[in-house]
Amino acid sequence: MPAVADSTAVDWADPAPFYMGNPDMVELADVTIKHSGLQLPAHSYVLAEAVELETPFTSHSLQEVVHMLRLCYSEAAPAAIEAGLPHLPGIARLAHSLDASRVLAGIDRFLAGIVAKKQAALEWLPLAEACQLEAAWAAGIRAVAASLLRCSTVICLLKCEEVAQLSQRAQTAVLGAVALAAKDLAGASQTDAAGRVPSAGLLQSWQHPGVQRASLTWRIPNFMQQQGRLKSPEIGSGQPGCSRKLRLVVTPQGSSATASRHVSVCVTSDFEEGGPSMLAKWTIKLVDQTDAESSGMRTKFHHELSPVARSNGHLMLTSHSALRAAADRYLVGGAAVFKVDVTWLEKPAGA
């Protein structure tokens, strides 16, 4: 079978040369698939194992059908899979519904190679489970479990929010993998890792309305002339379900003599005496006022706030020299703009 061309350019009015890889093969086609008003020629010897020709393709887009055919002709070559990556969920589901075993095996191998990082694993695990891509599913479970073992206790608990979006089967597998890995560690490391294993009860709490999010954009005029600690309005004030009075505290001249040439930031929350702690993750950004797409000057952190630790402590966001050097972007008209995003969970008792 000729190799499928690497080019991802497709003539959608006549896609056959693209998915066959050789325009001369079109004349030898003995099967036709009708889709989107087009006649898509194919070869029965290529599709015999891949599809039942009577099966309709109308529930999938033309792009998904064409890229699926390309995988049939290329024997699911990695380059062909990568070319269709934006359409891969639909391609995989179509291949699964048609029991296209070679295509599914190729997709399984491809995904198993890209889910080594947690974020990729979280993105592709639902598809791997739905289409029974066992190698990719197992690799994704390992990646998520490994990410939980590598982080501190508080960060690990916060990551449960992401894990809770997975199916019950995947959640159970992740927690089981974490527990087994912790059990295999020895001595002090075992104790440390065991403390990082999230309980099923805590994981379940992420699936209920306990997770809260809030944000604030705060403009501070004459920023470099401001003295002392500046407290923002309440973050998320007026947002439905926001149960905390959270504030950003900015100290333009620094929080101490040693940090007097830096802008420092911290966050605070109100607590009732004996009330529950909160696990929170924050992103604080000094906004680039000339470029809405810029990441700006930012800091991210996870922290547990409680009645005895109501603040995360001051963090140095940027130096005065760096800020002045970029004043045309960050101090337009002398004003600084801060953007705060926070996600938090009221920590269950005993968690």
Q: What is the 3-state secondary structure (H, E, C) of 176-212?
A: HHHHHHHHHCCHHHHHHHHCCCCCHHHHHHHCCCCEE
Residue 263 pLDDT = 87
> Is the confidence at residue 6, as pLDDT, over 80?
no
User: What are the residues whose beta carbons fall under 8 Å from the beta carbon of 186, sequence distance 6 or more?
Assistant: none
pLDDT band of residue 316 (cuts 50, 70, 90) is confident
Q: Are 137 and 125 in contact (CB under 8 A)?
A: yes
Within 8 A by CB and 6+ apart from 60, the residues are 68, 90, 93, 94
Average pLDDT of the residues in 293-302: 72
Can you read off the two tokens belonging to residue 263?
A: 């802008």
Question: Structure pTM?
Answer: 0.54
HSE-up of residue 335 (Cα within 13 Å, Cβ side): 10
Q: What is the pLDDT, as a whole number, of residue 2?
A: 44
Q: What is the pLDDT of residue 154?
A: 47
Residue 313 pLDDT class (50, 70, 90 cuts):
low
Which percentage of the chain shows pLDDT scores above 90?
18
**pLDDT of 108-121, one tens digit each?**
999 999 988 888 88
pLDDT of residue 223: 92
Residue 49's contacts (CB-CB under 8 Å, 6 or more residues apart) are 100, 101, 102
**For domain 16-112, which architecture applies?**
2-Layer Sandwich (3.30)
Rounded mean pLDDT, 259-280: 68
Task: Give 332 or 275, the one with higher predicted confidence.
Answer: 332
Q: For residue 107, what pLDDT is reported?
A: 94
Predicted local distance difference test score (pLDDT) of residue 105: 93
Q: What is the mean pLDDT of the chain?
A: 76
pLDDT band per the 50, 70, 90 thresholds, residue 158? low
Q: Of 33-37, 95-99, 319-323, which gets the smallest average pLDDT?
A: 33-37
Q: Using a CB cutoff of 8 Å and minimum separation of 24, what contacts does 54-58 make? A: 55/97, 55/98, 57/33, 57/94
Angle at 300 between CA 298 and CA 305, to 5 degrees: 130
Report, as an integer, the average pLDDT of 13-26: 83
Considering only 214-223, 242-251, 331-340, which range has the smallest mean pLDDT?
242-251
Give the bridge partners for 305, in sequence order: 278
Q: What value does the mean pLDDT take over residues 234-260?
A: 68
For the residues of 5-47, what is the DSSP string, one character each?
A: PS-----TTS-HHHHHS-GGGGGG--EEEEETTEEEEE-HHHH
How is domain 211-346 classified at the architecture level of CATH?
Sandwich (2.60)
What's the mean pLDDT in 28-57?
A: 71
Tens-place pLDDT, residues 53-108? 445 577 888 899 899 889 988 888 999 999 889 999 999 999 888 888 889 999 99
Decide if 345 contacts 212 (C-beta within 8 A). yes
